[in-house]
Structure 1
Amino acid sequence: MAVYVYSIVGDKHPLHLDGVTGIGESPSELRMITEGPLRAVVSDAPDDLRPKRRDLTAHQGVQNRLMADGTILPLRFGLTAEDDEAVRAALEAHATEYVDKLQALEGCAEYHLKASEDEEALLRQILEDSSEARELNDDIRNGAAGPDAPLVLGELVAKEAQARQNALATGVVEALSAFAREQEISQLTGGDFLSASFLVSEDQDELFLTTELSLANQMGDEFQFRLHGPLPPYSFV
């Protein structure tokens, strides 16, 4: 029977999973598959596996419970194997890699930061700082500009906004990376200029959080910082 794989842990992990349920409308019992120094936390895979809110929440709940008691290699939602033997074979084949990664992640959690800037505030700042953009904007408003002026202004503003926000993102990442073991930059969505994950050890956690809060305060109300964590270190597995 197909099995759903939640996470990989070391054989010393206490695995306190009483009361924790897995995915599926009628979740099967969580169980362990052991091979050498590793264990995989699994359950029977439901036939209709899809990323429903219920199952996403259950998947994350298993990770959070495991992470509270020790180091884990959290797997993304949806990973299944043909049967227990296939899981055991994977643990055996990748034992050195998994053990090394568990050691590298020991005592660490992931923090994910997204940041955005108010579009109107950004436009005002560009018009204040760029004489070219300001003059072109004035000409458009006064009716003295050519028919291509709005397009030219839009391209100029977009280029300047991209340069400014790239610089801001680089500065934020550099400041926070001083308190992180690793960082991963994610693809941007919406109006964000930064989407990044940081692997932070327990002894740097307070400094990381204090620095993030200080950066958000320094940058002002025109900026929105959304920090999520501590999370299982998905981005670093």
Structure 2
Amino acid sequence: MTGLRYVYAVCRPFDAPLQSQITGVGGAPPRLLRHRDLIAVVSEVPERDFAEQPLRAHLEDLDWLTETAHAHQNVIDALTVVTTPLPLRLGTVFHDDSGVRVMLEAREEGFLRTLDRLSGRVEWGVKVYAEPEAEEQPREPAKVTSGRDYLRQRRRSRQANEEMWEKADRFARRLHETLAECAEDTRLHAPQNSALSGAPGRNVLNAAYLVPRRNSEEFVEIVDRTKNEEPGLRVELTGPWAAYSFSGEEPGEGKSGGDMDSGDMSSGDMGSGDMSGENS
């Protein structure tokens, strides 16, 4: 086989077949490369696009990056149906099968430990937004007749804004604590910038939850019950995903609730441009 090896994920051997029609990055079908007790899911990609220099250039091309990320995610989604994959970063490339096996050998202990921790579990993402209507304070202000009136209006507006954010913060913290009880681990990601994400409102919670598959229905029901609980606040649920947010080798971060100012992949958010495998 010619070309480079693009690696999507690492998993334990499994018996169920992947979807026959699934295609990966560049249109090539994924295949399974076994090394002892690990499987690397790989496909062949051309050097003209995935050697170090052209890949770095492509990562600056938003259209190319979006297309490649979708193909990468399609393979991860197909794997999630039949096994517990440990996703690798977008753009993890090796010269050949031997390079992939060297990587598996070097990281075998960590991969196996992480796969044991994630087995039978999926990631759910939950976001809370303060809706634009809640931020705009649509009531028409009273007529200003003096400097004192102006200052009074400014103070009232500031107090109303502070109260809105206090309500949003209380709701987000309460929801996170409730969901954390149903999850084995949590991650609080940085709130998304609405100008970049395109989502209306201001993001006040952006969290990921590692949930056993058997508890997923209960988890979803809890989120659904909160969706209309507070006027002006919108709750969004995504998943189930492969456990992107929990694929590091050290578990246990965030079960206590963590810092509410830190927070997609998402769940489901992928890194880009890991060239650690290049020239292996």
TM-score using structure 2 length: 0.69
Kindly state the Cα deviation for residue 200 of structure 1 after the two structures are TM-superposed.
1.1
For CA contacts below 8 A with separation 6 or more, give which structure has more relative contact order.
Answer: 2
Quote the residue 2:22 is aligned against: 20
Structure with greater proportional helix content? 1
What percentage of residue pairs aligned between the two structures are identical?
26
Whole-angstrom CA distance in 2 between matches of 1:176 and 1:9: 27
Kindly state the Cα deviation for residue 85 of structure 1 after the two structures are TM-superposed.
2.2
Quote the residue 1:207 is aligned against: 218
> 1:118 is matched with which residue: 89, 112, 131?
131
**Contact conserved, 2:30 with 2:75, CA < 8 A, in 1?**
no
Q: What secondary structure, in the 3-state scheme, does the structure 2 residue paired with 1:188 have? A: coil
Quote the residue 1:173 is aligned against: 176
Q: What secondary structure, in the 3-state scheme, does the structure 2 residue paired with 1:178 have? A: helix
Q: What secondary structure, in the 3-state scheme, does the structure 2 residue paired with 1:39 have? A: strand
**Contact conserved, 2:135 with 2:161, CA < 8 A, in 1?**
no
**Contact conserved, 1:110 with 1:230, CA < 8 A, in 2?**
yes
Relative to structure 2, which stretch is displaced further, 155-164 or 193-202? 155-164
The one-character-per-residue Cα deviations of 1:170-216 (angstroms, maximum 9, x if unpaired) are 11110111111111111112211111111111221111111111111
**Contact conserved, 1:21 with 1:29, CA < 8 A, in 2?**
yes
Cα distance change, pair 15–5 in 1 and its aligned pair in 2 (3 A):
farther
RMSD, aligned α-carbons: 2.8
The number of residues matched between the two structures is 222
Q: What secondary structure, in the 3-state scheme, does the structure 1 residue paired with 2:174 have? A: helix
Aligned ranges for residues 1-237 of structure 1 at < 5 Å? 1-24=3-26, 27-46=27-46, 47-48=48-49, 50=58, 51-121=64-134, 141-145=143-147, 149=151, 159-189=162-192, 190=194, 191-220=202-231, 222-237=232-247
**Structure 1: runs of 5 or more not aligned:** 128-136
**Structure 2: runs of 5 or more not aligned:** 50-54, 59-63, 195-201, 248-280
Q: What secondary structure, in the 3-state scheme, does the structure 1 residue paired with 2:227 have? A: helix
**Contact conserved, 1:13 with 1:71, CA < 8 A, in 2?**
no
Cα distance change, pair 19–159 in 1 and its aligned pair in 2 (3 A):
same
TM-score using structure 1 length: 0.80
**Contact conserved, 1:115 with 1:192, CA < 8 A, in 2?**
yes
